[in-house]
Amino acid sequence: MLKVFNTLTGKKEEFKPIEEGKVKMYVCGITVYDYCHIGHARAMISFDVITRFLRHIGYDLTFVRNITDVDDKIIKRAEENGETTSELTERMIAAMHEDEVALGNKLPDLEPKATEFMQQIIDMIQVLVDKGFAYQGNSGDVFYRASKFEEYGKLNNRKLEEMLAGARIEVEASKEHPADFVLWKPAKDGEVSWDSPWGKGRPGWHIECSAMSTHCLGNHFDIHGGGPDLKFPHHENEIAQSEAATGEQYVNYWMHCGAVRVNNEKMSKSLGNFFTIREVLEKFNPEVVRYLMVSSQYRSSIDYSDASLKEAKTALERLYTALRGQEVAQSYVATDYTTRFEDAMRDDFNTAVALSVLFELVRELNKARAEGSEQAATLAAELKALADVLGLLSQDPEYFMQNSTISEGISAEEIEGYIAERAQARKDKNFARSDEIRDLLLEQGITLLDTREGTTWTRG
């Protein structure tokens, strides 16, 4: 049985797809005006792992994640850069994909862009206007009439008035109610715009996801996911728009990943603790970042710091060390480790417990290696297969051990040269020089390991 924590009900529930054996999942993507940050990495990796596991246990999954490529922030940044909005968004989309691939994520099956679904967006707004759920204000903006949707607030389990009390609500004189939100806004001179029944303009953010998700997956689908900051108002507004427009339940299971905190503080540009994925990958191997993100269950918050990344590096090195120089069988018969790993993942994708099973498997693999058992190769194959569900152990063990941190210091070629010199010194019984080379490398963060097969090294 697969259990999923449903934000809509506030509890874990048995997962039952609408259509047996098939899952339709939509995840809110990025507004592409800047490089992705580590908070984005958390959401990307969380739903990549969920995708991998659902497919691992046999579901035919359709994974859709949108791209917001028209937005006030995009227009402002393009103006600041002296480029068109399309030039900016195309550049940022390419960068986003580069970051994703580096982190080991598999790209979604469908990746709709808001600018490509303008007619569907306009059509949905028109339905809402026709049904009395939307109106055009004096400003020319088209607003959603939040108070007309009786279940508004059900995702956050709060009434409309309660949510208004603690939220930053944009107040406009042309609104009927402070909670009403924009579906369509008139364009200013020179801004990108589209023709509509309400004049030239562009959509509000919330309506984009409603139109794209229902077009790609149908009016009613299984899972909708996103970051913790999207529960209100974005996802609450999506429900109101979609269900008012279609007359059907929008989504069965709402899933939200945890936040990323930096040194126990909320990540913020104003606090100077804001890091892009690219900045982090200049210091650490991408798989170390990924390990940190899966080391706790996806709904938990994660504390990001150099110290936490170093802990992740050390833990991941333990897994890779078990495979270093180890033959890996082409196939294996699943053992109790596979059962326990899958049980952990079936419990709301509990990657923390799943990882603990992998470390137990590593202990048995190391024991089998020490005993010269043929079982070591099949245990190694099982370890790699289960780790792949988490997107881990995808690199050559030797490469990872030498590149778990990114250094501007001594190069791999120089290290190999020192190792060759040290080998000759030992052959000549010049142990003083041999020790000198080891100490020299150690000062630069290079640890040597002498084995029967020769000398290997690890950076960091």
- Provide the annotated binding site for Zn(2+): 28, 209, 234, 238
Instruction: Tell me the sheet residues that pair with 60.
Output: 22
Q: Annotated binding site for ATP: which residue ranges? A: 269
Q: Residue 375: which residues within 8 A CB-CB, separation 6 or more?
A: 368
H, E, C per residue of the chain: CCEEEECCCCEEEECCCCECCEEEEEECCCECCCCCEHHHHHHHHHHHHHHHHHHHCCCEEEEEECEECCCHHHHHHHHHHCCCHHHHHHHHHHHHHHHHHHCCCCCCCECCEHHHCHHHHHHHHHHHHHCCCEEECCCCCEEECHHHCCCCCCCCCCCHHHHHHHCCCCCCCCCCCCCCEEEEEECCCCCCCECCCCCCEEECHHHHHHHHHHHHHCCCEEEEEECHHHHHHHHHHHHHHHHHHHCCCCEEEEEECCCEEECCEECCCCCCCCCEHHHHHCCECHHHHHHHHHCCCCCCCEEECHHHHHHHHHHHHHHHHHHCCCCCCCCCCCCHHHHHHHHHHHECCCHHHHHHHHHHHHHHHHHHHHCCCCHHHHHHHHHHHHHHHCCCCCCCHHHHHHHCECCCCCCHHHHHHHHHHHHHHHHCCCHHHHHHHHHHHHHCCEEEEEECCEEEEEEC
Q: Annotated binding site: which residue ranges? A: 28, 209, 234, 238, 269
The answer for 50, left when phi > 0, alpha when psi is -120 to 50, beta otherwise, is alpha
Instruction: Tell me the sheet residues that pair with 144.
Output: 134, 181
Dig out the tokens for 419 from the structure.
């190792």
Supply the angle between the helices 38-56 and 375-389 in degrees, to the nearest 10.
120
Sheet with 134-136: list strands edge to edge: 134-136, 142-144, 181-186, 201-203
C-alpha distance from residue 399 to each of 366, 411, 445 (Å): 20, 13, 16
Q: Going by DSSP bridges, is the β-strand pair 454-459/134-136 parallel, antiparallel, or unpaired?
A: unpaired
